[in-house]
Amino acid sequence: MTRTAANMKVYHKKKPTQASAESKEAKNPKTPPSRRFKKAGGYRSKKSIKKPYLTRLKPEIDPLLKGVFKKIGKPESTPFVPDPFQLEALEAIKKTDCLVTAPTGSGKTWIAEQAIRTVFNQGGRCWYASPLKALTNSKWVELADYFASENVGILTGDTKENTEAPIIVGTTEILRNQLYDAMHRGIDLKCDLVILDEAHFLGDIDRGVVWEEVMIYLPVRVNLLLLSATVGNAHEIAQWLFSIRNKECVVIEEKKRPVPLYPLFLHPTGRMTPYLEKKRLYRSVVDFIDRDRPKRRGRDRLAPFGEIINVLEHYRLLPAIFFLKSRSECDAALKTCRPATVPFNDEAFSRDVEEPLDRSPYLRNHKQLPYLYKARVAAHHGGQLPAWKFQVETLMKRGHLRAIFATSTVSAGVNFPARTIVLMNSDLFNGHEFIPLSGTEFHQMTGRAGRRGQDKIGFMLIVPGRFMDLVHIKRSLFSRPEDIMSRIRNDFSMVLNLLLSQTPEDIRQIFERSLAAYQRDHRSLKDMAEQAAMGLWEDFLKHLNFLKAEGFVDRHDRLTENGVWASKLRLDQPLLIAECLRTEALPRNDENLLAAVMAPFIYDGDQELPYRHPPRKLLDANKRVAVHLIPLMERMRKAGFQVNDQYLWTSTVIYDWARGFDWDSIIKEAGMADGDLAMLVSRTADNLRQIMSLRDTHPEMAELASRARDAILREPIVFE
């Protein structure tokens, strides 16, 4: 435990800089929106504009685009008629499994709704699983409107309502946990249809294992509907499912976009041209690469986002989604935007803005609210509060915004397309480094261009810059999504839960049914599937032997009493939390302290933040945890298992929040983004929820965990 209360460097509070009167006025909720917008940097005279924003773009287009832009408009309203692929999918899922891969906005949700309707009318039960809590919440609202709220329940880490309803919406992790429980009790899952939305998450490096487990454990009698816009090897996935479920998985592939995509290029002079001529780069783009680009290299300035919006507005290409590199770039882009000149429905806008603000009063002081009111633009990224992101998503879907500035995360799982998407870069940060956009990532982004029923044509605008490879974008336009590769792996939570109901030999057979094993047998040996499948069993044995040595599994390969209750800790560090419970290292009578000492277990970053010195009471609580855990952590490292460092600042931050400290004060002192603190609080609450599940074996700690969870789940984390 390298960064604990015992041996971690603790940063003391720095003296804050004096905020300017101007910025204070901008944040004051009593200041009129227009005034706040001006103080926040929205109005800029030519004298006050800083150099990066000096560029003014004069709307100018290549003559060839005049005919293209004539196609812009809303298609005539016609009665809904399902596409052939939708009807084929619906017929297939009535009888067997089905994998549907079709572009974003093409009507995959309609297939899901009709499939649920069929099962529901027959008195059956359905499970709709999605990868993200935000998407799950959104889908819950949609299905409740469609099927009536009394028929739809929700299960996520934060929300649990109407769980006996015939239609359940939840995260994939919760579905996987229900399958663990069903196997342990020897009962059948109370379900007749499972829908896995965003099925390409099967290939996600961090979470794909959960999706694969669901597909392996799901009873054969339950039909499985997989939905995705980006699965490169759909037939291989279907064949694998057939091999383990012994029932056909029908593949329905629809490649035609519901709204055609037209690629555009914006020259630095402001002239807009086509990007392609048939399948070749347009001549002006080639000229830019050959002549202009070498001259400009190293002299690129901050893109004038507000000016680009004005050009798009001039040619009726709004609303737009700008995909930018970083959170800070998204936030800074707002300052380049001038007030909207096109009339909006102010009454509807005000109603749709004010209603969420009434439910989440904290957002009334949001520093980006003035840009929302006057310029009709917003930023959307992981550094923001869930409530704010939900507000932006809602306003975009209802047509109130001209543009949003977003990181690539908005392209996966959030359903609000635009007429135009703007690409500023051809690479993407993967958490470690910037790498070229993959085919899957590119198609996820471009899938947002063009709104079915609202646009006859959608656009992708390419803006050249330091990090834009124009040739790579051209290749991506004609590439297909990458193949999904198995991500199955062992961890202590998985091993404990499988041992609840399976023998090691059973588990070996489960691994032989994995996608990794299938890809090993059906692909070249140089593929990663070979290594994944071959190492899975050996890695399981390594986990099993360690669990035996620690007393969670007996010599007959059965869970001990400690192993049984530890299996209910379905989190990243089950052994560490179990050891804390086993040795009574956790605080016993203070829910705020309990919440605080849990925070270091869930933080998987490597940042040391200069937060204030922890109170003596908290320091002592963390020392007690460290004393009991350090020996186990050393044994884990010696056995070859990764153990994350523990950061004391996370504990201090959660302790202050649990005790009622002001959110803004914590954010300012810690130097954190709203979204990062929200994530820390939410994940801490998830861990506390796992301790709450131990009511039979640890009733007092379960009750304390419940109170601790209540202490930290409040506004602005929780919103209606």
Instruction: Report pLDDT digits (tens) over 85-110.
Output: 999 999 999 999 999 999 988 899 99
Contact by Cβ (8 Å): 567, 496? yes
Q: Point out the least confidently predicted range of 297-306, 477-486, 580-589, 599-608.
A: 297-306
> 3-state class of 46 per DSSP?
coil
Amino acid at 308: I
Query: What's the half-sphere exposure (Cβ side, CA atoms, 13 Å) at 242?
Result: 12
Return phi, psi of residue 320, to 5°: -135, 150
Q: Does residue 34 have a pLDDT over 50?
A: no
Interval 333-353 mean pLDDT = 82
Alpha-carbon gap, residue 237 to 252, rounded angstroms: 12
Query: Is the dihedral angle over the CA atoms 635, 641, 647, 648 positive or is it negative?
Result: negative
pLDDT tens digits for range 376-420 = 999 999 899 988 988 998 899 888 999 999 987 665 556 678 999
Nearest to 89 by CA among 195, 13, 7, 246: 195
How many Cα atoms are found within 13 Å in the side-chain-facing hemisphere of 235? 2
Q: What is the pLDDT of residue 2?
A: 37
Residue 5, pLDDT score: 41
Whether the Cβ atoms of residue 283 and residue 291 lie closer than 8 Å to each other: no
Summarised one tens digit per residue, pLDDT across range 112-122 is 999 999 999 99
* DSSP class per residue in 632-656: HHHHHHHTT-------HHHHHHHHH
State the residue for tokens 């929040």.
Answer: 657
Structural domains of the chain, ranges and CATH numbers in brackets: 32-73+259-477 (3.40.50.300), 84-253 (3.40.50.300), 492-712 (1.10.3380.30)
Which range has the worst mean pLDDT, 25-29, 65-69, 686-690? 25-29
**Averaged pLDDT for residues 195-218:** 95
Average pLDDT score over residue span 164-187: 95
User: pLDDT over 70 for what percent of the chain?
Assistant: 87
Distance CA 437, CA 425 (A): 9
pLDDT of residue 297: 56
What is the bridge-based pairing of β-strands 458-462 and 261-266? parallel
What does the pLDDT read at residue 720? 63
Sign of CA dihedral 544, 628, 600, 567: positive
Question: What is the rounded average pLDDT of the residues 255-277?
Answer: 93
Mean pLDDT in residue range 626-648: 95
CA distance 211 to 494: 13
Band the pLDDT of 697: cuts 50, 70, 90: very high
Average pLDDT of the chain to the nearest whole number: 87
Is the predicted pLDDT of residue 319 greater than 80, yes or no? yes
Mean pLDDT throughout 610-614? 88
Where residue 242 falls among pLDDT bands split at 50, 70, 90? Answer: very high
Q: How far apart are CA 400 and CA 378, in angstroms?
A: 11
At 366-384, the pLDDT tens digits run: 999 999 988 999 999 989 9
Pick from 14-23, 72-81, 523-532: least confident: 14-23
Find the mean pLDDT for residues 33-39. 37
% of the chain with per-residue pLDDT over 90: 68
pLDDT-derived band of residue 59, with 50, 70 and 90 as boundaries? confident
Beta bridge partners of 273: 265
Please report which confidence band the pLDDT of residue 293 belongs to, taking 50, 70 and 90 as the band edges. Answer: low
d(Cα 105, Cα 18) in Å, to the nearest integer? 49
In the block, tokens 């044995």 appear at: 541
For 560, residues 6+ apart whose C-beta sits below 8 A from its C-beta are 551, 552, 553, 554
Assign 223 a pLDDT band (cuts: 50, 70, 90): very high
Residue 500 CB partners (closer than 8 Å, separation 6+): 180, 183, 184, 559, 564, 567
168-191 per-residue burial string, b: 16 or more CB within 10 A, e: under 16: bbbbbbbbbbbbbebbbeeeebeb
Between helices 648-658 and 591-602, what is the axis angle to 10°? 140
- When pLDDT is cut at 50, 70 and 90, the band that residue 7 belongs to is very low
pLDDT, residue 499, reads 97
Give yes or no for residue 44 having a pLDDT over 60. no
- Strands 276-277, 280-281: parallel, antiparallel or unpaired by DSSP? antiparallel
Which contacts (CB < 8 Å, 24+ apart) does range 241-245 have? 241/97, 241/99, 241/215, 243/513, 243/518, 244/215, 244/216, 244/513, 244/518, 245/97, 245/218, 245/220
Model confidence over 525-559: pLDDT tens digits? 555 555 665 689 999 999 999 999 999 999 999 99
What's the confidence (pLDDT) of residue 301? Answer: 57
The reported pLDDT for the residue numbered 300 is 55
Using DSSP bridges, classify how beta strands 160-161 and 152-155 pair: parallel, antiparallel or unpaired. antiparallel
Cβ-Cβ contacts under 8 Å for 358 (sequence gap 6 or more): none
Distance of alpha carbon 524 from alpha carbon 539, whole angstroms: 22
Q: Can you list the alpha helix ranges (DSSP code H) found in 30-107?
A: 33-39, 64-69, 84-95
449: which DSSP letter? B
Q: DSSP secondary structure string, 468-505?
A: --HHHHHHHHT--PPPP-------HHHHHHHHTT--HH
d(CA 606, CA 8): 13
* pLDDT higher than threshold 90 for residue 24: no
How much is the pLDDT for 414? Answer: 64
Q: What per-residue confidence (pLDDT) applies to 361?
A: 86
pTM: 0.88
User: Which residues lie below 8 Å from residue 144, measured CB to CB, with a gap of 6+?
Assistant: 151, 152
Strand partners, 377: 403
